[in-house]
Amino acid sequence: MECIVSYPARVLSVINIGFGCVARDWMGNFLGAKCSFQRITVDPKIVETMSALHAINFGIVGGWSDVVFEGDSLQAVRDLTKPPPHLQRNGHFVEAVQQLLGSLRSSTIVHCPREENGVAHCLAKEGAVKCCNVVWFEDPPPLIYNLLVRECVVPKP
């Protein structure tokens, strides 16, 4: 199965950080979504890299083997696509991401402007606000349905 997973992070306060992922096939059809949160205080560079880690884990759990990961932090995408050594402050997370990517048959990490990533941002906000960890497969949750209609194709209810 080939898919695209979009992943932003949303810092709602100094302690609640929300992560959101949405997976689509190459035609734009909804495959799955995830929102989660963590209570931590870290800098944005680390949060964006942790968001990629959440997205890749979601891709592995979803069973997708050929995946394009879209992130809205250009700096994080650059860090994640650089070869080792990773001496920057998010280096240990970068190495974890690259190690997980090795478990997929094919993967790419690309930059996606925030404006084109509304569904994943909505999920990240939901995770931060409600302090929840939820995964959906096949049927999208109501909170993102209208955004999915605008951004891609959704299954008929």
Residues forming beta bridges with residue 30, ordered by sequence position: 24
Cβ-contact 71, 7 below 8 angstroms? yes
**Per-residue confidence (pLDDT) for residue 48, from 0 to 100:** 85
**Per-residue confidence (pLDDT) for residue 152, from 0 to 100:** 63
Kindly tell me if the per-residue pLDDT of 41 is higher than 60: no
Burial 65-84 (b: 16+ CB within 10 A, else e): eebbbbbbbeebbebbeeee
When the pLDDT of each residue in the chain is averaged and rounded to a whole number, the result is: 84
Share above pLDDT 70 across residues of the chain, in percent, rounded to a whole number? 87
Kindly tell me if the per-residue pLDDT of 17 is higher than 90: no
Q: Beta strands 9-11 and 66-71: pairing type?
A: unpaired
Q: Beta strands 30-39 and 9-11: pairing type?
A: unpaired
**Per-residue confidence (pLDDT) for residue 10, from 0 to 100:** 65
What is the C-alpha to C-alpha distance for residues 73 and 113, in angstroms, rounded to an integer?
8
**Per-residue confidence (pLDDT) for residue 1, from 0 to 100:** 43
**Per-residue confidence (pLDDT) for residue 153, from 0 to 100:** 52
What is the C-alpha to C-alpha distance for residues 48 and 73, in angstroms, rounded to an integer?
7
Domain boundaries, the chain: 2-151
pTM for the whole structure = 0.83
Nearest Cα to Cα of residue 119 among 49, 9, 21: 21
**Per-residue confidence (pLDDT) for residue 68, from 0 to 100:** 92
**Per-residue confidence (pLDDT) for residue 109, from 0 to 100:** 93
CATH 3.30.420.10 at 2-151, yes or no: yes
Task: Please state the φ and ψ torsions of residue 27, each to the nearest 5 degrees.
Answer: -90, -5
Share above pLDDT 90 across residues of the chain, in percent, rounded to a whole number? 35
Q: How many helices (H) and strands (E) does the chain have?
A: 5, 7
